[in-house]
Amino acid sequence: MSRRPPVKRTFPVYLWIAIAMVAVAAGYYVLQHDGAVEAAAPAPALPPSAASGAAPAFTLPDISGKSVSLADFKGKVVVLDFWATWCPPCRKEIPDFISIQNEYGSKGVQVVGIALDELPKVRAFVQANGMNYPVLMGTDAITALYGGIEGIPTTFIIDRNGKIVERFEGFRPRATFVAAISRLL
């Protein structure tokens, strides 16, 4: 009787492939988890110039190229909204800001939009939506000046003395803004 040589047990190729896939998936999970932790970090604080609550001064062009400064609204309650035409929550807030400007403009409230978008798109959007308040063209410098705008819409409420009293990130209903400005009138 001839004796067979012992069978050498090797790890099947398909198991090596499965192990490699699990390792890749685990690495992907770790990378995604690290990103989620960063995304959950709180919004940066306002820069030192605004630590006392003072709204950082700025001058930006409006959609027709005219320079507009925050100082132009001295003595008014300012609703300063960072937005873009491609942002659905931003677009959803625009009718509320139009309404607030209509209702509270004569009482000393001024809505100001800072568009973080391309000028031709902003012009078309402003015209198509009948926006009745100044829309300025934003820059990286203005977003940095206001503590870093991590997401839009981001809206600041500035009192008559030029101090930031509220910062809202993300969509808010009209009643939220009305409550904030009513306390300042």
List the catalytic residues: 90
Instruction: Please answer whether residues 81 and 111 qualify as being in contact, where contact means their C-beta atoms are separated by less than 8 angstroms.
Output: yes
Q: Is residue 26 packed enough to be buried (19+ CB in 10 Å), middle (13-18) or exposed (0-12)?
A: exposed
- Strand 109-115: give its sheet, edge to edge: 135-137, 109-115, 77-83, 154-158, 164-169
Whether the CA torsion 26, 30, 35, 40 is positive or negative: it is positive
| 3-class SS of residue 133 | coil
What is the DSSP annotation of 14-63?
A: HHHHHHHHHHHHHHHHHHHHHHHHHHTSPPPPPPGGGTTSBPPP-EEEBT
Rounded to whole angstroms, the Cα distance separating 156 from 83 reads: 12
